[in-house]
Structures are given as structure tokens and as C-alpha cells.
Amino acid sequence: MEHIAVGLVEGEKVLGSVNVYPEKLDSAEALLSMPAEGIADCIRRQVETVSRGEKIGAIGIGFPGIIRNGVVEDSPNLHQAKGFALQAALSSGLGEKYAGVPVRVFNDADVMAAGIAATHGLLNKLTRVWTLGNGVGFGRYPSSEGIWEGGHSVVTLNPKENFCGCGGRGHLEGILGRRSMRLRFLDLEPEEVLENARTGDTRCAEFVSLCHRALAAATATSIHMEGPGMFFITGPDVKFIDIALLDRLLHEMVKMSPLQGSRFEVIPTTDEMGIVGAAVNAQHAALK
Ligand SMILES: [Zn+2]
């Protein structure tokens, strides 16, 4: 959402350095106000720069939102991209040298799941990931048909829980997303809420507990639908998460014996991980 990172991948590794746009972090708002065509153009230029004339097997893109058949059907945090045929725009815009190279677009959390699976030797397993930031992303590998908007899982029936950016009530993102935290605590930044909870402020402590219950609940739903497994947690806001507490809450919510054995692991978010995942997914999709 804040920047575009592009790299050249061979196997499960990024070759050379990663190109980032915008180069200066203080211009992080640049993409938010850029028209969808401009974003596509920007991605295309970065791809051509990074490829340095090498032969390219496939081009994979991770993009925030609901992506189907190469079209951004919705993107709550980059509204201008709604309905944009990103895959077609990139394919047709690539220079002659790359004509015919398959381009595939995936949800950004899905490419993160693919990147984690590829770099952890888990390509033959179901791998799920929560990405915590302004929104809450849910990614799964292998990439498959479906919507998988796990961040909008309903985790409470309390009608007052209406802070989710999508407008839906009771959603995980409406509790754990940074944007929603700011709406809930108008006078406090998310970091201050966490700090206050640590020093014994009741309202903040109750909220941090609610965050953990909400994430455990959405995870439990995923386990009840698709079975147990590894759940990675990544993103700028993993600092809010206490893994031991999350494990304990999950065990209270998932009791059937065949569904036991899930684990959480926090891992740092890196551009490289997403880039590897986009490439792995694109190659698999192009070979189908
Ligand atoms: Zn929502």
C-alpha cells in the first residue's frame, strides 16, 4: 500500500538488490493519490529496470484487495484501483522484449504466504498468514480460487463494533487494524494504547485482550473450515501480539481432537519475502 518493491527471483531467492518506489519513505502517500493507470505504469517501469535485460519466465504481482482473474475487484485501502484490470494493463504495457511473458496478479497477503512457504520449505503444506497493519490481511498458500478475506471475519456480535474500513460490523480488522484503532481511541496512537495497557490502564488493557480474542477467533474459524496448521503473523504491527496468550485463547476455541496441533509464529515482514512469493505463485500459475 505504501510502496512498490520489485526484484528479480531465481528459485526461491532474490537476485541482486530490490528496487523500491517511492525511494523516500516520507513520500509514502504518493501511491494513495496516484490513479490506477499510474500505479500500473510505475510497476511496469520498475519491472523493466530490475530485469536488466535478463530473460524473464513469469512476472508476479502482489496487490492489496480482492483480485480475481487479474482484475482488482475491490481494494479498500487503494480505492482508485477498484475494477482495474491490472494484469491486462501490465501485459499490454510491457516493452517488446517482454512481450508474451505471463503476468499474474495475486492478493498481497497471498504472496506473503507463498514467500513464507517457499523460504521455510513448506511448499507442500497449507500455509496461512495474518498481516497486521492499517488493515488486516489473510493470506494462504497454495493460492486457490476463492475470496479469502479473513481479515473481515466476523469475530463479535456486538453491534457497536463498526470500525472496519469496509463498513461491515463486527470484523477482525475493525478491532486489530491500525486505522480502526485510531477511530476507537481518538486521543491515542496505537503504540500509546499498548503502552497504557502495559502500565495498567483498564480500558487499554481490555482492548489489547479483545485484540487477541479477535485474532484467535478468526484463526479458530479458519481451522474449523480448513483444518489445523501453521499460522504466521507478520506486518508492522506484530508488536501488539503476545503469542503465548494467543495460543491459550485458540486452545479454548478449538476443541475437536482432529483439529489440534496448530501453531503461531511471528516473522518479520520483508519486501524480499513478498517478492519471492509473487514469483513462486506466478510461475505455478503460468505452468498450469
Ligand atoms: Zn471489514
Average pLDDT value over all residues in the chain: 93
DSSP 8-state assignment for residue 229: -
Tally DSSP H helices, then E strands, for the chain: 9, 10
Cα 76 to averaged position of ligand 1 atoms, centre (Å) = 9
Q: How confident is the model at residue 26 (pLDDT cuts 50, 70, 90)?
A: low
Q: Say whether pTM exceeds 0.75.
A: yes
Taking the C-alpha atoms of residue 251 and residue 260, their distance in angstroms, rounded to an integer, is 8
pLDDT surpassing 80 at residue 27 = no
Which residue in the block uniquely carries the three cell numbers 501480539?
241
Provide the strand spans (E) within the chain.
4-10, 13-21, 59-63, 66-68, 71-74, 103-107, 127-132, 136-141, 230-234, 263-266
Percent of the chain's residues with pLDDT above 70: 99
Cα 96 to ligand 1 centroid, rounded to whole Å: 41
pLDDT digits (tens, 9 = 90+) for 124-151: 999 999 999 888 999 999 988 788 899 9
| 155 Cα to the center of ligand 1, angstroms | 11
Q: Give pLDDT tens digits for 153-164.
A: 999 999 999 999
Q: State the distance from the centre of ligand 1 to the C-alpha of 180, rounded, in angstroms.
A: 10
Which pLDDT does position 54 carry in this prediction? 86
Q: How far is the CA of 239 from the centre of ligand 1 (A)?
A: 22
Q: Residue 160 Cα, ligand 1 centroid: separation in angstroms?
A: 14
CA 268 to ligand 1 center in whole angstroms = 25
Q: How many angstroms does the Cα of residue 152 sit away from the middle of ligand 1?
A: 4
| Cα 30 from Cα 39, distance rounded (Å) | 10
Give the percent of the chain with pLDDT over 90: 77
* DSSP 8-state secondary structure symbol assigned to residue 125: S
Cα 4–Cα 108–Cα 99 angle in degrees, nearest 5:
65
Chain segment 178-221, per-residue pLDDT in tens:
999 999 999 999 999 999 999 999 999 999 999 999 999 999 99
Residue 23 pLDDT level (bands cut at 50, 70, 90): confident
Residue 288 has pLDDT above 90, yes or no: no
Distance from residue 221's CA to the centre of ligand 1 (Å): 16
Pull the grid cell for residue 56. Answer: 524473464
pLDDT at 152 (0 to 100): 95
Distance from Cα 213 to the centre of ligand 1, integer Å: 17
> In the numeric block, which cell numbers belong to residue 80?
482508485
Mean pLDDT value of segment 12-22: 91
Pairing of strands 71-74, 66-68: antiparallel
Given this model, what pLDDT does residue 90 score?
94
pLDDT score for 28: 65
CA of 167 to the centre of ligand 1 (A): 6
d(CA 124, ligand 1 centre) in Å: 31
Ligand 1 centroid–CA 138 distance in Å is 12
CA 262–ligand 1 middle distance (angstroms): 25
pLDDT tens digits, 84-125: 999 999 999 888 888 889 999 999 999 999 999 999 999 999
Quick one: pLDDT at residue 25?
Answer: 65
CA of 141 to the centre of ligand 1 (A): 22
Task: Note the pLDDT of residue 286.
Answer: 86
CA of 3 to the centre of ligand 1 (A): 23
